[in-house]
Amino acid sequence: MQLWSLNGNTQQLDGGAMFGNAPKAMWSRWIEPDASNRIPLACRCLLAKDLDGRNVLFETGIGAFFEPALRERYGVVESQHVLLESLASLGLSHEDIDVVVLSHLHFDHAGGLLAAWEEGKPPQLLFPHARFLVGAQHWQRAWKPHPRDRASFIPELQHLLQDSGRLELVAGEYSQTLGRAVRFSFSDGHTPGLMLSEVAGVVFCADLIPGRSWVHLPITMGYDRYPEALIDEKRVFLEDKFARNVRLFFTHDHACALARVTRDERGRYGTTDEQPELRGIV
């Protein structure tokens, strides 16, 4: 089994929104904003190649499903479906993926499930041979979102996943599809039922910890539903990964895919052994 980081479409979003109540004087030292106050963000996916004989993709990024006006509004840089290009670089297509694991269904994590936008065509679900794994609690949230995060969901996506006949809702540590190969845990601070996946000593942090800067406990996003709960969840999460030497995989960090957790004498968490990409590590 090998782990690969795959680039999806990138975004440029407002730095203030991404760092919540942290002042710009602080966060601009970590990620330099452009003239419009936007910072670069990855939508990075994790591929477990030959995991018990299957290709398992953790998330699909934002993809290219937005029409041009919305692509501009949400700061999507590329018009083509970058994840499909990343798969092709490994000699794979979306048809070769056996399982897609989704931490949650916000468009910047699940939009890559859809084909690139074409005028006059309805949304088309890719990955025709894959089973789709979604947290059971979050699935309910996606059907009945709060006004606060309704715009983060793709209305057609839940119907397409349900109608595929290949959807599994995960409620515990392990799924029927992947068995003991992938261990799941759940978080509510960013969105109810966010599903975190651990495979071969690597954990997909999703939006609990979008990148290195958010490893600091007080730092949350303006997009988080329950920031105080998220901080408490993050503390427990990081302590566990530090104790077990589990590496962190970041989806939104524009320059770092993987890192190890550190903790100083004052109990502050940080990262070390930072890697910009994974290229087939076992």
Which residue is listed with tokens 């690139």? 116
- What is the homologous superfamily of the domain 2-281 according to CATH? Ribonuclease Z/Hydroxyacylglutathione hydrolase-like (3.60.15.10)
Q: Which residues lie closer than 8 Å to 254 by C-beta, 6 or more apart?
A: 10, 31, 39, 40, 41, 42, 211
Answer whether 223's CB lies under 8 Å from 183's CB.
no
Give tens-digit pLDDT for 51-60.
999 999 999 9
pLDDT reading at 42 higher than 90: yes
pLDDT recorded at residue 238: 98
In the structure, what pLDDT confidence band is assigned to residue 282 with cuts at 50, 70 and 90?
A: confident
Q: Tell me the angle at which helices 136-143 and 155-164 cross, rounded to the nearest 10 degrees.
A: 130
Q: So what's the pLDDT on residue 22?
A: 96
